[in-house]
Amino acid sequence: MSAHSSISAAAQSPLPPPTTGGAIHAVPIGITPQPPLHCPVAIVGAGPAGLMAAEVLSAAGLKVHLFDAMPTVGRKLLLAGIGGLNLTHAEPLPAFKARYGARAADCGRWLDAFGPQALRDWAAGLGIDTFVGSSQRVFPRDMKAAPLLRAWLQRLRHPASGVPVRFHMRQRWSGHLQPLAPAAPQQTPSTPPTTPTTPQSAHAAPPGYCLHLQGPQGQTEVHARAVLLALGGASWPRLGSDGAWMPWLAQHGVALQPLRPSNCGFDVAVGTRLGWSAHLQQRFAGAALKGVLLRFTDANGQAFERRGECVLTQTGLEGSLIYAASAQLRDAIETAGRVRIALDLKPDWSRSRLQAELERARSGQSLGTLLRKRLGLTPAQVALLHEVLPPEQRHDPAHVAATLQNLPIELVAPRPIAEAISSAGGVALEDLNDALMLQQPLPGVFCAGEMLDWEAPTGGYLLTACMASGRVAGLGLAAWLRAQPTAASTCASAATEPQIAKQPPPNITGDIAALG
Ligand SMILES: Cc1cc2nc3c(=O)[nH]c(=O)nc-3n(C[C@H](O)[C@H](O)[C@H](O)COP(=O)(O)OP(=O)(O)OC[C@H]3O[C@@H](n4cnc5c(N)ncnc54)[C@H](O)[C@@H]3O)c2cc1C
């Protein structure tokens, strides 16, 4: 299976609801009311970005508490691995960076510090060998995410040096994020703040933040000197990242771009009808169109032309070729309400050769048989031609040949974000400093991963940038804490976290079974 189709296949695989069997269990953290958990660093979101941030912070000697709403970590990463984990890409770095489009400069800076080769070396450090596929995509040797995640969790919990990361699963951040007041001698740690407090001046960093997390045993209040949010985008919300944080951060004055589907399929219209004919839906939904050439003009008037594979769906088209163009297609639809694409079903044939074959005497053969036998079209390709070519035009070989190489399809809407591989939009990078800190509205709060406003096609670019940004944010947070007046270590003592139970050993077997 190609890497392209593997992502598509994974996207279609049914995912049962979260299970607890054999998974990393929720850490029981008491019944409300309870004293707040004091810690130097709270990370919310245990996907690749949050885990990478946790790793560098742990290595910097900081005690990290990592919270996630789901019963187990890295569920989207695990799903990505079901069809073959495309970790990164082996093309030269300038070309790699260009995949991030308008955000190439920002993402490029993260990648300068942790690029595709560094990611492969990092995986090797976990005992996961990688190889470069024929498309230059990079995969773990066994194509899976689970061994990598298992080894990663083991290292985070038992680092050779550094501080073990503390995991708190089934802890959903509710959006409550209030700056703490400077410590007052009369205040006791068990007194939760009743009214929001603000930093002394608009530009001064507060001594930390109070977060509320909801778990099976009630609400937990966390007081952290610095916070790192790695909440993901809004695709596949069943896996935990649902974009619910958007209005919460907006309330704090964080500049946000709307979350939109990226690497997604599209709905079509044929003439005045939305969607394919019943015949095409029933017979050919799920059929692949291989080796086709996609052409269209984007919203900026730029011509797009690429060869690859797409898939007919119930309502339109999806697949790696469509994903590769999805940002431009989505933007073109937003601008004009629809976009016309052209598929060349026989890109290796000259027009004259095609026409000559079609002009040869048919000896009673139907057009469909001729197209299949002489031109080698698949039944799905023939059905697609019939879909767009009215019967009266099917007898003109020149017209049929021209349509085969320029098959017009109207795309009218991207599929919903919940079905997309990833999302675009999120926290505006302009609001973040180079360390990915929300310096103006929320000094001491850092963001990383897919929740930031960048997008990239499939091909390993998503995971690479998520991990690279997690690393930048983690290192930035460590440096920021070091520069703050109060030493980070004074915040975390065993006495201030009595409610944290001893955690079970890492085990993601149950979760992998559930995903499979
Ligand atoms: C089917 C599929 C296949 C993919 N395949 C690939 C691939 O092969 N290669 C590639 O590069 N990319 C792939 N991707 C994309 C990649 O998996 C994501 O870009 C990546 O996981 C994003 O990482 P992240 O850490 O930013 O967010 P996520 O992995 O989404 O993690 C965010 C975490 O935050 C938690 N969270 C969210 N809100 C809260 C809250 N309020 N409180 C507590 N926790 C919260 C979530 O539970 C989640 O665990 C694929 C995606 C899908 C859906």
Inside any domain, residue 321: yes
pLDDT at 15: 28
Question: DSSP assignment of 7-40, as one string?
Answer: HHHHHHS--PPP--TTSPPPPP---SS-PPEEEE
Same domain, 75 and 39: yes
Q: Of the candidates 375, 390, 414, which is a domain's last residue?
A: 414
Inside any domain, residue 217: yes
Inside any domain, residue 329: yes
Whether 498 shows a pLDDT value over 50: the answer reads no
Same domain, 88 and 234: yes
Q: Of the candidates 396, 414, 432, which is a domain's last residue?
A: 414
Ligand 1 near 421 CB (within 6 A):
yes
452: which DSSP letter? B
Ligand 1 near 77 CB (within 6 A):
yes
**What percent of the chain stands above pLDDT 90?**
77
Same domain, 435 and 335: no
Ligand 1 near 39 CB (within 6 A):
no
Whether 504 shows a pLDDT value over 80: the answer reads no
Same domain, 360 and 429: no
Element (H, E) at 156: helix 146-157
Q: What is the pLDDT of residues 6-47, one digit of tens each?
A: 333 233 222 233 332 233 334 445 454 678 999 999 999 999
Which residue has better confidence, 143 or 507?
Answer: 143
Same domain, 430 and 377: no
Q: Cα(32)–Cα(10) distance, rounded to whole angstroms?
A: 40
Which range marks the domain in which residue 84 is found? 31-178+207-260+424-484
Whether 2 shows a pLDDT value over 80: the answer reads no
| Across 99-103, 156-160, 187-191, 382-386, least confident range | 187-191
User: Is the separation of the CB atoms in 46 and 66 below 8 Å?
Assistant: yes
- Residue 342 C-alpha to ligand 1 middle, in angstroms? 32
Inside any domain, residue 186: no
Q: In the structure, what pLDDT confidence band is assigned to residue 500 with cuts at 50, 70 and 90?
A: very low
Same domain, 241 and 295: no
Phi-psi region of 459 (alpha: psi -120 to 50; beta: other; left: phi over 0): left
Inside any domain, residue 42: yes
Whether 5 shows a pLDDT value over 50: the answer reads no
Same domain, 244 and 287: no
Q: Of the candidates 395, 414, 433, which is a domain's last residue?
A: 414
Ligand 1 near 71 CB (within 6 A):
no
Inside any domain, residue 92: yes
Mean pLDDT of the chain: 86
Q: In the structure, what pLDDT confidence band is assigned to residue 395 with cuts at 50, 70 and 90?
A: confident
Axis-axis angle for helices 48-59, 146-157 (nearest 10): 30
- CATH code, 238: 3.50.50.60
Same domain, 56 and 94: yes
- Residue 404 C-alpha to ligand 1 middle, in angstroms? 39
pTM assigned to the model: 0.86
Q: In the structure, what pLDDT confidence band is assigned to residue 495 with cuts at 50, 70 and 90?
A: very low
pLDDT at 206: 85
Ligand 1 near 167 CB (within 6 A):
no
**Longest Cα–Cα distance in the chain:** 98
Ligand 1 near 116 CB (within 6 A):
no
Same domain, 161 and 121: yes
Residue nearest to atom 20 of ligand 1 (CA): 463
What does the block give as tokens for 11? 């996207």
Phi, psi of 345 (to 5 degrees): -80, -15
pLDDT at 486: 63
Among 211, 463, 471, say which to mutate for ligand 1: greatest number of ligand atoms within 8 Å of CB: 463
Q: In the structure, what pLDDT confidence band is assigned to residue 63 with cuts at 50, 70 and 90?
A: very high
Inside any domain, residue 345: yes
Domain count, the chain: 2
Ligand 1 near 173 CB (within 6 A):
yes
Q: In the structure, what pLDDT confidence band is assigned to residue 508 with cuts at 50, 70 and 90?
A: low
Nearest Cα residue to 82 out of 2, 10, 23: 10
Specify the 3-state DSSP secondary structure of 49. helix
User: Is the separation of the CB atoms in 70 and 240 below 8 Å?
Assistant: yes
